[in-house]
Amino acid sequence: MKLQTAIKILKIIVRIGFYLLLLFIILFIAVSVLRLSGGNINEGLNISNAVKVRSLDSEVTGRGTFNQQHTGSYQQISTYFFRPNFNTPAGYYLVFIRALYYLISLSILWLLLRTLDTISNTAFFHTKITRYIRLLAFMYMASDLLGLIDYFVMRAFLHQEFPAMHFRPEINFGEDLITGLIIFVITFIYARGVQLQEEQQLTI
């Protein structure tokens, strides 16, 4: 497949994804504002009011189940969904953090779109693209760091609401941070490409 064709297809896919996400964010904000103003929203539109949490059986009951030799134990991990009431600090926080996540995702798609637009219209190596890729890396890293902050804040809320259950929110920390770091390293390589292209253009 030719590069230009691949770029065109990617642009279409990313553009569709961008506008779908934008639509979703608008819907999310509209529902959140309606709920804030005390409106009665159909539960089917309750798109962001749940957090997946886990509870370790041993922390609730005070024990795991050991084998006869006491060389190991097993315990159940139960999965729940924590749904704070909307007009509570936990509810407001959930809306706020979800909005931040969606905005980061939208920024990532927008940067990708700008990168693809710049590649097709001008030279392949361009200082603008270096800037976009660097921002993309920061967005990925910010997403993971936000997840980490979210974990501790949500854990505090869970402990406050259900202290006996020892709930822990689910966390996937590290994947986006590593992705961001890899993209960041690629930025340096790309910037060198821009330099080489400039030198090549100024070689008579």
Q: Which residues contact another protein (rule: CB under 8 A)?
A: 198-199, 202-204
User: 């030198």: which residue's tokens?
Assistant: 199
Say whether 55 sits in a helix, a strand or coil. strand
Output the smallest distance, CB 125 to another protein, in A.
Answer: 15
Residue closer to another protein by CB (options 1, 204) is: 204
Residue closer to another protein by CB (options 69, 203) is: 203
The tokens for 46 are 């309750």
Output the smallest distance, CB 196 to another protein, in A.
Answer: 11
Beta pairing partners, 80: 53
Output the smallest distance, CB 131 to another protein, in A.
Answer: 23
Output the smallest distance, CB 200 to another protein, in A.
Answer: 9
Residues in the chain: 204
State the DSSP string of 137-164: HHHHHHHHHHHHHHHHHHHHHHHHH-GG
Residue closer to another protein by CB (options 189, 204) is: 204
The letter for the amino acid at 191 is A
Output the smallest distance, CB 202 to another protein, in A.
Answer: 4
Residue closer to another protein by CB (options 43, 199) is: 199
Q: At what angle do helices 127-161 and 175-201 cross, to 10 degrees?
A: 170
Kindly give, in sequence order, each residue whose CB lies less than 8 Å from that of residue 95, ignoring residues fewer than 6 positions away. 32, 48, 86
Residue closer to another protein by CB (options 164, 204) is: 204
Residue closer to another protein by CB (options 127, 160) is: 127
CA dihedral 152, 154, 157, 158 (to 10 degrees): -100
Kindly give, in sequence order, each residue whose CB lies less than 8 Å from that of residue 162, ignoring residues fewer than 6 positions away. 82
Output the smallest distance, CB 122 to another protein, in A.
Answer: 17
